[in-house]
């Protein structure tokens, strides 16, 4: 099962949030994506993608990112169909 976690980050916290993510990720193959432009309030939407077998790292990353978030983290789980 893969995890997709998305949330918003204010522009003034982007650098700190990115640093926190990189420190929490360490060597795990967790990807971080962002929408191409901010929303109407100037917030960036980021998404963490956890491959199969790496979902156990989500709580650690969530704790590291918490100070920098402008919204709650929304966690979605998907499994491969074929």
Domains along the sequence of the chain with CATH: 2-78 (3.30.70.120)
Examine the pLDDT at 82 and tell me if it is beyond 90. Answer: no
Task: Report the C-alpha dihedral over residues 17, 22, 23, 29, rounded to 10 degrees.
Answer: 140
Per the CB < 8 A criterion, the answer to whether 16 and 68 are in contact is yes
CA distance 36 to 50: 20
CA distance 67 to 50: 21
Summarised one tens digit per residue, pLDDT across range 8-57 is: 999 999 999 999 999 999 889 999 999 999 999 999 999 999 999 999 99
Would you give the distance in Å from CA 35 to the centre of its chain? Answer: 12
For residue 2 the two structure tokens come to: 């893969």
Helix (H) or strand (E) holding 45: strand 43-50
């Amino acid at each position: 099962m893969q995890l997709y976690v998305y949330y918003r980050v204010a522009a003034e916290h982007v650098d700190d949030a990115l640093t926190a993510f990189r420190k929490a990720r360490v060597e795990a193959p967790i990807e971080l994506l962002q929408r191409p432009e901010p929303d109407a309030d100037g917030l960036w939407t980021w998404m963490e993608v956890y491959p199969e077998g790496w979902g156990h790292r989500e709580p650690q990353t969530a704790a590291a990112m918490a100070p920098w978030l402008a919204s709650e983290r929304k966690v979605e789980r998907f499994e491969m169909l074929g």
